[in-house]
Amino acid sequence: MAKTTKTPAEVLKSLMEEYQLNPFSLSKAIKINPTTARLLVLGKANITVPIALRLSKFFGQAPNFWLDIQLANDLIKAGNDKKLTEILKGITKVQKPTAAAKAKPVAKKPKAAGKAAKTNTLAEKRKKAAKAPGARAPKGKIS
């Protein structure tokens, strides 16, 4: 895939040059760790939503500006990933079910008659579990 867009780091570097900023002054202005700011400028860290919000407020753009640049960059990287490309080749598009498959009647379970039916079912399950081989006696009862 051909590279057609600028990376977030390139855009950030050009804005920092325009405003005569360094990574440390940027980090203090948008209240992030100086190491994070340096990694952003080097292109080794991604623009996250909180960082996009901070950069947009600081430079006067919409947060989508930064997120769109990051997304475009991520898609370019993914397109160049050979393992992912091979995986994608093996995935086929899902097909909608035919009308005949949709028309199959689904058997409905009868609704239980209130709380008493549920209690009986639970009591029956407990009795079966107690009769099972290797079952232990309930705590608090002496048998």
* Residues 44-74: tens digit of each pLDDT: 999 999 999 999 999 999 999 999 999 999 9
Could you tell me the CA-to-CA distances from 91 to 1, 15, 47 in Å, in that order? 19, 41, 29
**Domain harbouring 12, CATH code:** 1.10.260.40
**Token output for 1:** 């895939």
Residues 6+ apart with CB under 8 A from 6: 69
Range of the domain at 55: 8-89
Q: Where are the beta strands (DSSP E) in the chain?
A: none
Residue 13 domain-assigned (yes or no):
yes
Residue 142 domain-assigned (yes or no):
no
Give residue for tokens 């990051």.
70
Q: In the predicted model, what is the mean pLDDT of residues 76-98? A: 93
Residue 33 domain-assigned (yes or no):
yes
- Give the residue from 110, 117, 108, 114 showing the smallest Cα distance to 125: 117
Look up the pTM and report it: 0.62
